[in-house]
Structure 1
Amino acid sequence: MREECTECGGKGYEVISTEKCSECKGTGKSKSVNLMSLSQKDVGSFLKDGSVCPKCGGSGEVEVRRSCEKCNGTGAFYKCDVCGKPIDGPINGKEACSTCGKVDIVHVLDDSCNQDELEVGKLYQAKVNNIANFGVFVDMNSNLRGLIHSSNLSTPLEPGDQVVVEVKEVRRDGKMDLIPRHVKEFNIVEVEKSIPIRKSTELDKFIGKLIKVEGEVIQVKQTGGPTIFTISDEEGLISCAAFERAGERAYPEIDADMIVTATGEVTARADRLQVEVKSMKRLSGAKEAAVKKRIDEILDKRAEPAEIEFLVESEILEKLRPAMRQVAREIRKAIMKSKPILLRHHADADGMTAAVAIERAILPMITEINGADAEYHYYKRAPSKAPFYEMPDVTKDISYALEDAARHGQKLPLVVMVDNGSTEEDVPSMRQAQVYGIDMVVVDHHHPDEIVDQYLLGHVNPAHVGGDFGMTAGMLATEVARMINPDVTEEIKHLPAIAAVGDRSEAEEAEVYKQMVSDKYSLQDLKDIALALDFEAYWLKFSSGKGIVDDIMDLGDKSRHKKIVKLLCEQANSMIDEQLTACMPNVKSQDLPNGAVLNVLDVENFAHKFTFPAPGKTSGEVHDRMCQKLEGKPVVTIGYGPDFAVIRSKGVLMNIPQMVRELHEEIVGGGVNGGGHLVVGSIKFVEGKRTDVLSKLVEKVGSVGVE
């Protein structure tokens, strides 16, 4: 195997310096010329420009060269075709080392090869195509067919038989004479056409020409005609069409995520370029590793997030910058590799603003890379009713992802979780996703558990750097979105203010975010938008609500935004008033040992069910009313049902995740789990242990400090 020397580029020498041409003394003109030897064209050129020095070609300088030490001036290296060991050159007509050369070498021609790759006297593998009276026609690949004359046949052959042949002659008309050879022991050497590798950005220069590309298979799609392979190299995507038979899968051994090399002709199809595949192979070993490394290194550079100034000054944000950049980098890299994005978020105002901020950042990039309708194939947003990744959520996500992989040949998605994903409750779902190789990143502000980090590529949580839940997911995700795509800043900069109001954040950053957009949105405007989002989330259930959610967030028609927010707030407030009219007379209050006032409500028996507001929202509204009534006092409100309790507090220094862990250990058979923020959360338990759990919970609430 002859390989061009990489040191000298195949020239066999290195240029040390340049010096003045000794022939023309640096003028570039010839001293004398024989006019009788010049053609009419050359005479015209001579009269116009003068003669050119033959030694320097008219430059006036000549190169001072040194023979390349690496290849000893040959410009190339030879390697054994069988074992790859360096050799000085062909031995006995074989490009093999002394050891491998003792065994016959049979060449297998790639489908990209034509007669240029054939050599008389060498052995090739062939397959019998059909039988004629005068001999047997055999195929050496899909392009080359030759004849074994009947006079050279000693044993009968049948169509489909494999046979080793020696090329006896290649005629001018392209016909080949072949001789069958019986070889007992031989080494197989695959032969590919020697073609330079081209990048995706170069295809327009080679329309109608044969090229070779290398890269990672992103998608395999079977049409009624050819099989379409989408290959990603370090600069973009390449559409490759391979045809076996109409509707039949070409190269079934090649699938998404594999590193391949493909040879074919570049053609123009409507407004895009396509490679009509003649040969495609999966790379393995060192070649696979080298191509993957090259692609990953370039993608890593291109995926680097933008250097931005945060919208607000914040010590917490600055400390989180590395983690935020990591999440932004993973999202950008997934988009560039045409990996679908599944955006999971808690179904409330904070979760929705967080998700939509990232959605607005990534959709233009997905469309740019994968085409106009890419949003429907490479992106999905789905709300989660609970503030963690529930088993029904992950089951649906895995099922849909596997269906898309089987039907459309897509990669499995990157799951981006916002306003959930930080707690131990997420772990069972994360473990299921990990089995299928589904990657995840998280942007959340619920109190984190260290155990989740082993399942994540990136994790943003203010508690990691000394912050708390006051830095909401909507604030964090908006800044991450700006790192992904700074162009969306003006479009989404009001979303943190909505998130702050929706999650009742008292952080300093929340006030700054609200002041930043106060010229366009009053505090009441922000409250109305947050309420409208919560109200609509209840009715949307598991639907993303794209379109109507955009209108509520003022990301669409301005007039429609005002009308829909006003209408939804009227409906929401009416239903809240109706619910509280039924609830408030049934709230029971008591003073706790620590001075806090505890309010409890049985939402199962004293609240409307299966309507807005849900038990969590109902408990929150009751808590707000009681805080107004007991202004200045620490207040805790518990709304409970048969097997759950919702906790809201003000001025009480609780740690709900810790309480949940303690209750789980202390109440045997209680099945206690849950969590949330430090002072706002929910607990689940088995119905038969409700009295024990609630009694113990109240005891713990009464023992903590108050502000």
Structure 2
Amino acid sequence: MGSCIICGTDVGSGRVCDSHQEDVVFDFRGDSPNGLVPSRFYRGVVDGYAEFGVFVDLVPGVTGLLHRSELDRRLDTLDWEPGDEVFVQVKGVRDNGNVDLGWSIRQAEREFRGVLVQEPAGEHRPDEEPSDDGDDGDTEAETETDESADDDIEVADSVGDGESVDSVGDGESADGDAVEADADPEPTDKDVATDNEESAEVDATLASDGDEDSAVAVNGESDGAADEEVDTDADEETDADRERAPITTLGDAIGESIRIEGEVVGVRQTGGPTVFEVSDETGAVDVAAFVEPGVRAYPDVEVGDAVRVDGEVESHRGDVQVESDGLVLLDGEAAEAVRRRIAEALTDEARPEGLQPLGGDETVAALADDLLDAAEAVRRAVLESRPIVVRHPATADGYVAGAAVERAVLPLIRDEHAKSDAEYHYFTRRPLDEPVYGMDAATNDATRMLQDRDRHDEKLPLFLLVGAGSTTESADGIDLLSVYGVDAVVVDAAVADPETRDAVDTLVSPELADVDGDEGLSTGALVASLASAINDEVRPDLRHLPGASYWTDAPDRYVDLARDAGYDAERVAELREAVALEAYYQSYQDKRELIADLLFSDGGNLAAHVSEQFREKLETEIETADANVATEAVDGVEFALLDTDGYTHRYDFPPTPLLLDDLHRRHADGEPFATVGVGTDELYVRTTADVSVRDVAARAAEIAPTADIDTAGVREGKIEFLSGERDAVEDAVVAAVAEAF
């Protein structure tokens, strides 16, 4: 008869009772998956990845699959590498021997309440020898020894020397004498809870630096734990003399005891410790505070609080982390000093020194003040540990713009945060199917940000909309964000409506800036210069991007700039076409690594291969469209009319707007010419003259008043209508376009 290592309850066999099976992690020593016990947590080693999940070796010869549906994050954001030690839960073993694994939020041994070795002959502690007969076989003396060892708990470091614990529950000696804090117990990890469930835990109130108004001690202990005060002159003097360490220096202090002061910018509860992300004027770091598995430490500490942390710097799965010995909630002058240091650092670091437009573009130079405001907003979000969400159209120009910002911001995030996956946590790029920030996109964003705020104590993000959000069609979506006080920055080189200026915090657009310059400025070119202002160190990486953002007639300055960077006209065209193809497929995904490979790391082979697919698919569609284009002349204007429902593959590449763009370029010969693609309830207009799509829609609505004609997208020349009035709408739009010429 054995006893549970957690609660001491008698168990028929094994070393853990049924109620504590999931509190223990097991080292499997069997040779068959049939020996695994469902619902138990096991230590394993990452074997490799597949597109559907991760293979984990529980022991050589016994491998399980952690399916991506079991993860609490996207598979592509999982930072496990082959050979990494991980912890997983066995969900079940199939008849064919396949092992189904589940996600474990606890990814460190210290986050479990105990460790057992599971042999075919039985279970035992790692430091015990397995019994020969397969029975646990504890004698009464051995049980007493185990329980005595279990009861030698380590008192929290925050308790001063010579203090005693008033109550230790089952950890008391047999005659009820209290255990003294300065006793010499068997050494244990200071951050791991005692194996005995009913043992009391002591988390003493920490002394401040002597100013009672400047710090309030916060207790993170569980109910019933004793409160102890540190109140010795010697301790206070030592505490006051301790120097504060800047967070960016912690990477060189692994294993050392340090003190940091900063603002809490994130709190998340794991199955083990509570993890506070603390930021000072130099950077941010995770601070792990442990009470017992899954229990919130320091429940009074929230995002935005100023704190002082004493602890030991450790390397946790390759990331710098502080194991807290004590966390103090600062108040009064001490809190104000922390916030003042951070604010001053933000002011100094957030505003770029100036703007140097790529290629010396004069239009971009005329927008310098607005661009610097946008760059400052982005840099400030990084320094404040606020997530940044970039929204851009799923087009070649949109992806170039989004990738430019991404290239500039990710290094800043890596410098600011110690965690290796911070760039995925604090930066998100979400392409839009259309260059309009509508209610669908805004609702998706609002849902995500509120979930992250309420579930993970994250700050609300900064939204950066590039090539979208500047027209009235985006007003409802932006208004939804503004209800929550979310900051929005819009950068758009094309159409912008005056009403947008009051709806967003920062708007950059030549349309509203009253500047003289090249009317053909692309959003990709404009945002590439913005990215260089955000992070001047990546400027050499951005020089070829403006040229890749134009389909035709790229300004000579950007062609020359790309050539100087090693990208001739053919190579730039391959990049543009490859990005356009990849932008279409899985359009809602950022495809971060793939786009980065195409635009920044490709030696030419990848882009050349993908662009060849682009041309083949486009030529096939153009050939079909050409054979079915109807032409007519109205009031001296030549029209090419295409039934996009009947003569395009609407759900395959190329998308209708891109197809019509290319078709229009091929058919327009300089004369007054327009291309109209008509679908079930939408149509697209392309013209050789500067024709307002809004004016066309308004005039067509007068001609066909029952068709409910309205502008759906100014930038892509899109008009929507009732499908039953299709023929009338086509005639009305053709007449309205002819009048506009």
TM-score norm. by structure 1 comes to 0.66
Partner of 1:122: none
Amino acid at match of 1:579: T
Following TM superposition, by how much is the alpha carbon of 1:664 offset from its aligned partner in structure 2, in angstroms? 6.8
CA distance in 2, matches of 1:477, 1:533: 17
Residue in 2 that maps onto 1:686? 722
Secondary structure at the aligned position of 2:585 is classed as helix
Q: How far 1:604 sits from its partner (Å)?
A: 1.8
1:144 & 1:434 partners in 2: Cα distance? 42
Report deviation, 1:415: 2.1
Q: Secondary structure at the match of 1:544?
A: coil
Q: What's the CA shift for 1:404?
A: 4.0
1:70 aligned partner = none
Q: Once structures 1 and 2 are overlaid, which stretch shifts more, 558-567 or 239-248? A: 558-567
Given that residues 648 and 681 in structure 1 are in contact (C-alpha distance below 8 angstroms), is that contact kept between their aligned partners in structure 2?
yes
Bigger Rg, structure 1 or 2? 1
Q: Do the aligned partners of 1:643 and 1:690 also contact (CA within 8 Å) in 2?
A: yes
C-alpha separation in 1, matches of 2:251 and 2:467 = 45
Task: Give the Cα separation in 1 of the matches to 2:477 and 2:203.
Answer: 49
Q: 1:701 to 1:197 in 2, by over 3 A?
A: farther
Q: What is the CA–CA distance in structure 2 between the aligned matches of 1:306 and 1:133, rounded to whole Å?
A: 69
Per the alignment, residue 401 of structure 1 pairs with 449
Alignment-derived partner of residue 543 in structure 2? 493
Partner residue of 1:591 out of 634, 639, 649: 634
Alpha-carbon distance in structure 1 between the residues aligned to 2:580 and 2:320: 47
* Distance (Å, rounded) in 1 between the aligned partners of 2:612 and 2:722: 40
Q: Is the 8 A contact 2:546 2:558 kept in 1?
A: yes
The residue number in structure 2 matching 1:640 is: 678
Judge which range, 445-454 or 267-276, deviates more: 267-276
Unpaired stretches in structure 2, ≥5 consecutive residues: 1-155, 181-199, 207-221
Matched, 1:483 2:545: no
| Matched letter for residue 588 of structure 2 | F
In the aligned structure 2, how far is the partner of 1:339 from the partner of 1:315? 33
* Structure 1 residue aligned with 2:651: 610
2-structure distance, mates of 1:327, 1:498: 23
Separation (CA, whole Å) in 1 of partners of 2:482 and 2:353: 29
Per the alignment, in what secondary structure is the counterpart of residue 358 of structure 2? coil
Select which of 460, 463, 476 maps to 1:415: 463
Distance 2:619 2:697 in 1: 35
Change (3 A) 1:401 1:378: same
- Return closer, same or farther for 1:162/1:385 CA change in 2, 3 Å cut-off: closer
Question: Following the alignment from structure 1 to structure 2, what is the Cα–Cα distance between the partners of residues 499 and 212?
Answer: 49
- Name the residue aligned to 1:328: 375
* Counterpart in the other structure of 1:35: none
Per the normalisation by structure 2, the TM-score is: 0.63
What residue in structure 1 maps to residue 577 of structure 2? 531
**Partner secondary structure for residue 411 of structure 1:** coil
Q: Distance in 1 between matches of 2:617 and 2:252?
A: 61
8 A Cα contact 1:620 1:648, kept in partner: yes
Contact 1:391–1:428 (Cα < 8 Å) also in 2: yes
Match of 2:64 in 1: none
Native 8 Å contact 1:583 1:607 kept in 2: no
Pairing of 1:576-587 with structure 2 (within 5 A): 576-584=621-629, 587=630
Report the equivalent of 1:656: 693
Q: Secondary structure at the match of 2:298?
A: coil
Q: CA deviation at 1:321?
A: 0.7
Matched-pair contact (CA < 8 Å) for 2:707–2:729 = no
Alignment of 1:236-385 (within 5 A): 236-256=283-303, 258-269=304-315, 274-277=321-324, 279-280=326-327, 291-370=338-417, 371-385=419-433
Deviations 1:309-364 (A, max 9, x none): 32223331111111111111111122223322222211111111111111111222
Residue type of the partner of 1:638? V
Give the corresponding residue for 1:517.
562
2:430 and 2:737 map into 1 onto residues whose CA distance is 35
Q: Which amino acid in structure 2 is aligned with residue 350 of structure 1?
A: D
Describe the shift of the 1:134–1:419 C-alpha distance in structure 2 as closer, same or farther (beyond 3 A). Answer: closer
Q: Is the 8 A contact 2:168 2:201 kept in 1?
A: no
Q: Deviations over 1:54-97 (max 9, x none)?
A: xxxxxxxxxxxxxxxxxxxxxxxxxxxxxxxxxxxxxxxxxxxx
**Structure 1 residues 548 and 128: alpha-carbon distance in aligned structure 2, compared to 1, 3 A threshold:** closer
Distance change in 2, residues 1:606/1:263 (3 Å): closer
SS at match of 2:558: helix
User: CA 1:140/1:568 → structure 2, altered by over 3 Å: closer, same or farther?
Assistant: closer
**Aligned-residue RMSD, C-alpha:** 4.3
| Equivalent residue number for residue 390 of structure 1 | 438
Label 1:165 to 1:246 Cα distance change in 2 as closer, same or farther (>3 A). closer
Question: Which has the larger displacement, 368-377 or 517-526?
Answer: 517-526
* Structure 2 residue 193 is matched with structure 1 residue 143: no
Instruction: Work out whether residues 639 and 645 of structure 1, in 8 Å CA contact, stay in contact via their aligned partners in 2.
Output: yes
**Residues 376, 692 of structure 1: CA spacing in aligned structure 2 closer, same or farther, 3 A cutoff?**
same
* CA distance in 1: counterparts of 2:399 and 2:613, whole angstroms: 16
The partner residue of 1:444 within 492, 495, 508 is 492
CA distance in 2, matches of 1:400, 1:140: 37
Separation of aligned partners in 1, 2:434 and 2:319: 44
Checking the alignment, whether the CA contact within 8 Å between 2:204 and 2:229 is kept in structure 1 is no
**Identity %, equivalent residues:** 29
- Name the amino acid aligned to 1:653: D
SS in 1 for 2:628: helix
Secondary structure of the residue aligned to 1:318 is helix
1:704, distance to aligned residue in structure 2 (A): 2.8
CA separation in 2, counterparts of 1:481 and 1:377? 20
Distance 2:640 2:233 in 1: 99
Write the deviation string for residues 152-175 of structure 1: whole angstroms up to 9, x where unpaired.
xxxxxxx999999999x9999x9x
Report the CA distance between 1:582 and its aligned residue: 4.0
Contact 1:670–1:693 (Cα < 8 Å) also in 2: no
Residues 566 and 446 of structure 1: is their aligned pair in 2 closer, same or farther, counting only changes over 3 Å? closer
CA 1:272/1:260 → structure 2, altered by over 3 Å: closer, same or farther? same
Report the secondary structure of 1:645's partner residue: strand
Deviation at 1:559, TM superposition (A): 4.3
Q: Which residue identity lines up with residue 699 of structure 1 in the other structure?
A: A
Aligned in 2, Cα 1:460/1:527: closer, same or farther, shift over 3 Å? same
Say whether 1:697 aligns with 2:733. Answer: yes
Contact 1:220–1:227 (CA under 8 A) maintained in structure 2: yes
Which of 452, 459, 468 is the equivalent residue of 2:507?
459
Deviations 1:478-530 (A, max 9, x none): 11111112222222211101112x2x356xxx221013334644444433432
CA distance 1:681–1:160, change in 2 (3 Å): closer
What secondary structure sits across from 1:703 in the alignment? helix
* Contact 1:316 1:466 (C-alpha < 8 Å) held by counterparts: no
CA distance in 2, matches of 1:127, 1:162: 9
SS of alignment partner, residue 583 of structure 1: coil
Judged with a 3 Å threshold, the aligned counterparts in structure 2 of structure 1 residues 425 and 282 are, in CA distance, closer, same or farther, namely farther
C-alpha deviation, 1:289, in angstroms = 6.1
Q: Secondary structure at the match of 1:580?
A: helix
- What is the distance in 2 between the residues matched to 1:557 and 1:127? 67
Cα 1:657–1:232 shift into 2, 3 Å: farther
Q: Secondary structure at the match of 1:558?
A: coil
Query: Which amino acid in 1 is paired with 2:462?
Result: L
Q: Distance in 2 between the 1:170 and 1:568 partners?
A: 76
